[in-house]
Structure 1
Amino acid sequence: MSEQTPPAIPEAGPSAEERQWAMLAHLSVLLNLVTALGGPIAAFLVYMFYRDRSRYIAFHALQSLVFQLIAWIGGGLLALVAWAIAGVLTAVIVGFCLIPFACLFSLIPLGAIVYGVIGGVACSRGEDFRYWLIGDWVAAAFR
């Protein structure tokens, strides 16, 4: 008689439900188009609901929450300040030179939407998606 070794069990990735909720956490950035803070609130609710159930969903929801707070709110405030400074300084002509920079800062929240959709698509495929700089910081919090 020969001993047979059991077949190796492949490492299980995230389930379809986990991929779906992680995708929705990332896509919650789209709520910011119609509501002021709907995206971060939705990501926070997904995190709170799944933090004890699924590490995968909790990680992606928390990552989405932090990203949206930094990119959407921080970028929006930066654009607001840039436009205010450019507006005030237009009285002395210097502000006209600052308008291109204010336009650039205004693109930060729109770029956040695109990046969030990329994260949602990656999670729907079961890939491990991490936002630049933010993903590693959130992963360190999960250790």
Structure 2
Amino acid sequence: MTDPHESTPPPPPSPGDTGGISAEQRQWAMFAHLSALLGGLITGWAGGIGCFLGPLVIWLLKRETMPFVDDQAKEALNFNITLAGLFLILFLLGFLTLGIGFIIAIPVMLIVGVAALVFIVIAAIKSNEGVAYRYPIALRLIK
């Protein structure tokens, strides 16, 4: 005989369960990550320095009303500020060494750029699934 006071464990979450995060929040979080790519493309003539503008705008607009978007937009913003700083340092390395540093800086920029593209796409997919994504390398400047 079973004890009536014994509680049964809750059922495991279904694969489609997003933890109560609305589709609208998941979509805005995905846009926060992907907007970095758009900002980088639009400001490509300036070295892609606008990569953090999209996440910044989304964070400023949605931080008060959508907690998941607040978290993911801050994450995208921190990652892209880190990237912009790294690219600035690499550019200065090449410029201040009268071009010799570009022998190292350009290949590093290409590798970092491809890795950033991969991380941003993964982050967009995960956030659209309702999973809070953390970039492996990012300075947490915005908290």
Cα distance in 1 for residues equivalent to 2:102 and 2:63: 43
2:22 aligned residue: 15
Q: Contact 1:59–1:138 at 8 Å: present in 2 too?
A: no
Share of identical aligned residues, percent? 27
2:105 aligned residue: 102
Alignment of 1:35-46 (within 5 A): 35=43, 36-46=48-58
Cα distance in 2 for residues equivalent to 1:43 and 1:123: 13
The AA in structure 2 aligned to 1:24 is F
Q: Is residue 2:119 matched to residue 1:115?
A: yes
Q: TM-score, normalised by structure 2?
A: 0.71
1:92 aligned residue: none
Query: 1:134 aligns to what SS in structure 2?
Result: coil
Alignment of 1:1-143 (within 5 A): 12-31=19-38, 32-35=40-43, 36-71=48-83, 73-86=84-97, 88=98, 95=100, 98-107=101-110, 108-134=112-138, 137=140, 141=143
> Whose helix fraction is larger, Structure 1's or Structure 2's?
1
Cα displacement (A) at 1:117: 1.6
List alignment gaps of at least 5 residues for structure 2.
none
1:26-52 deviations in Å (ceiling 9; x for gaps): 011212022244432221111111111
Tell me which moved more, 111-120 or 48-57.
Answer: 111-120
The AA in structure 1 aligned to 2:134 is R
Cα displacement (A) at 1:123: 0.8
The AA in structure 2 aligned to 1:76 is F
List alignment gaps of at least 5 residues for structure 1.
90-94
Change beyond 3 A, Cα 1:13–1:70: same
Q: TM-score, normalised by structure 1?
A: 0.71
Cα distance in 1 for residues equivalent to 2:49 and 2:105: 22
